Structure 1
Amino acid sequence: MKKFIRGFGYAFKGIGYAAKTQLNFRVHLVATLLAVFLGFALHISVNEWQWIILCVALVLTAELFNTAIEFLTDLVSPEYNKLAGHVKDISAGAVLITAFFALATGIIIFLPKLQLLIQHAA
């Protein structure tokens, strides 16, 4: 049981390290805060919250995997290597696709509510 609980400590340590050292991870955390703020401000539904939470989890997870892959690639191939570069580019591409999915989901959920809010204010 101690080993199991210690595993959580390692996981939080990894998340903390990413938050301290990775600009893109911090950018995604700010986007998370913005989405949560908008969600509360615009009173989104439970179903919409599920989509927002899914997007947040996917983007942050993709960014963590990307960081881990980059570190491992640098460890295994400290010198320039074309294939190592492809590995890093592909993992960054996975984050980009996930972020675009999250952005599209956010637009679908938040834009109509923001438009209504603007129309009522005008």
Structure 2
Amino acid sequence: MASKDKGVFSLHRLAQAFKCAFQGIAHVYLHEKNFRFHTAAAIVVTGCGFIFQISKVEWMFVLFCIFGMFVLEMINSALERTVDLITDEYRKLAKQAKDLAAGAVLMFAILTVLIGLIIFLPKIFD
């Protein structure tokens, strides 16, 4: 599309944007093992949320953790592909970029586990 059209609202452009976004979600689900693992974990945690009847505030934390994990996994995958696109050979900075992104995912995963323990452990032991 021409740059002059970028500021103009169009239902067709909006539909195309949603189509691309859903294609990205489908791609990451089909091609990234970690994303599928997080999806399975999200299903289990959501089921536990209903079983233990967590509060609205607890649901907000759980949903933030679930969707935050999905978003970070997608950003990590996008960064990995971008780095791979730029260089086919081993480069120290490329490795560092990939490791930093993976580290961010790991740190958020640790946070989500801690939040899950804070929410669910008292309910399990009651």
Q: Indicate the TM-score class for this superposition, using the shorter chain for normalisation.
A: over 0.9
**Which of 24, 33, 48 is the aligned partner of 1:23?**
33
- Aligned match of 1:115: 125
Structure 1 residue runs of 4 or more that deviate by more than 2 Å after TM superposition:
none
- 1:78 aligns to 2:92 (yes or no): no
How many Å apart are 1:22 and its aligned residue? 0.3
Give the 5 Å matches for 1:88-99.
88-99=98-109
Quick one: which amino acid aligns to residue 28 of structure 1? H
**How many equivalent pairs are there?**
116
Unaligned runs of 5+ in 2: 1-10
Distance 1:73 1:105 in 2: 32
**Which of 14, 19, 30 is the aligned partner of 2:24?**
14
**Which of 34, 37, 47 is the aligned partner of 2:47?**
37
How many Å apart are 1:77 and its aligned residue? 1.1
Give the 5 Å matches for 1:54-73.
54-73=64-83
Instruction: Kindly indicate which of the two structures has a greater share of residues assigned to helix.
Output: 1
TM-score (norm 1): 0.93
- 1:5 aligns to 2:15 (yes or no): yes
How many Å apart are 1:4 and its aligned residue? 1.1
- Does the residue aligned with 1:57 lie in a helix, a strand or coil? helix
CA RMSD of aligned residues (A): 0.6
Unaligned runs of 5+ in 1: 117-122
Quick one: which amino acid aligns to residue 14 of structure 1? G
Whose RCO is larger (CA < 8 A, sep 6+)?
1
